[in-house]
Amino acid sequence: MAQTRRPLIAGNWKMNGLTSDGIERTRALIEKMAAKAQPFDLLICPPATLLAPVAAALNGSAVRLGAQDCHAKASGAHTGDISAAMLKDIGCSHVIVGHSERRADHHESDHAVHAKAVAAIEAGLTAIVCVGETEAQRDAGKTAEVVTSQVLGSVPARANHESLVIAYEPVWAIGTGKTPTAAEVQEVHALIRETLAGQIGEAEAAQTRILYGGSVNPKNAKELLGLPDVDGGLVGGASLKADDFWAVADASR
């Protein structure tokens, strides 16, 4: 079944990048992607300020554009927020929802993440729903319980393999250089797929891409992205250098 899932390599730039370096990085990736047909999808998720200029630079490229968050409502009095329809309008195909940094910094609950994912799907975007346990939860042996309940609480029942991507990002692995073992990653991904099957049906779950995120780099990418239930990566730090990001993508082939 795994061979039907095309790897997705997504770069989450987080709150990094001004116009000049963001466009430079984008151009470098466009060039690499244009050289020949690749067996993976490449997605970049710049900060909101760079979505318009990056969209303009990407014009016609196979590199896809995603945002890092959206509001649950389509429009209205929500100062500082951006709706999924606005993201779609500007050229985004994807939006990350429920990243652990938003769950922590902005107190986003599974309920709020679910509402954002619904809004994203309604606007025609693919929602990348993030889940993952903290170090304390892992130490307490609660990884399976936490991840299962986040998937059940955050994933809309009407999602399918085209409108949904899941990203498993253990919070303690983000930006730390630490990762779970390959066996641990595979175990959680298989559990996520099983949980998903109960929500959106077995056939859809079998085709839905589940990404691993947390300290993915050119050195560990081959092992992590080669696991049976890992269908790509959500890459933070290593996505800020075009060569490193490309090396991670290359490892998925």
Query: Judged by CB under 6 A, does residue 12 bind ligand 13P?
Result: yes
Between 118 and 174, CB nearer to ligand 13P: 174
Looking at 174, 185, 200, 224, which residue binds ligand 13P (CB under 6 A)? 174
Count of beta carbons in the 10 Å neighbourhood of residue 231? 25
Torsional sign, CA 208, 216, 140, 150: negative
Cα 176 from Cα 105, distance rounded (Å): 18
Query: At its nearest, how many Å lie between ligand 13P and the CB of residue 201?
Result: 27
Site string for ligand 13P, 109-148 (x = CB under 6 A): ----------------------------------------
Between 104 and 203, CB nearer to ligand 13P: 104
DSSP classification of residue 211: E
> Are 211 and 11 spatial neighbours (Cβ–Cβ below 8 Å)?
no
Size of site (CB under 6 A) for ligand 13P: 14
Residues 194-233 interacting with ligand 13P (rule: CB under 6 A): 213-216
Catalytic (active site) residue 99? yes
Cα 84 from Cα 120, distance rounded (Å): 5
Catalytic (active site) residue 133? no
Cα 195 from Cα 221, distance rounded (Å): 25
Site string for ligand 13P, 36-75 (x = CB under 6 A): ----------------------------------------
Q: How would you label 94-130 residue by residue, b for 16+ Cβ within 10 Å and e otherwise?
A: bbbbbbbbbbeeeebebebbbbbbbbbbebebbbbbb
Between 65 and 238, CB nearer to ligand 13P: 238
Between 45 and 205, CB nearer to ligand 13P: 45
Cα 224 from Cα 35, distance rounded (Å): 26
Give the active site residues: 99, 169
Site residues (CB under 6 A) for ligand 13P? 12, 99, 169, 174-175, 213-216, 234-238
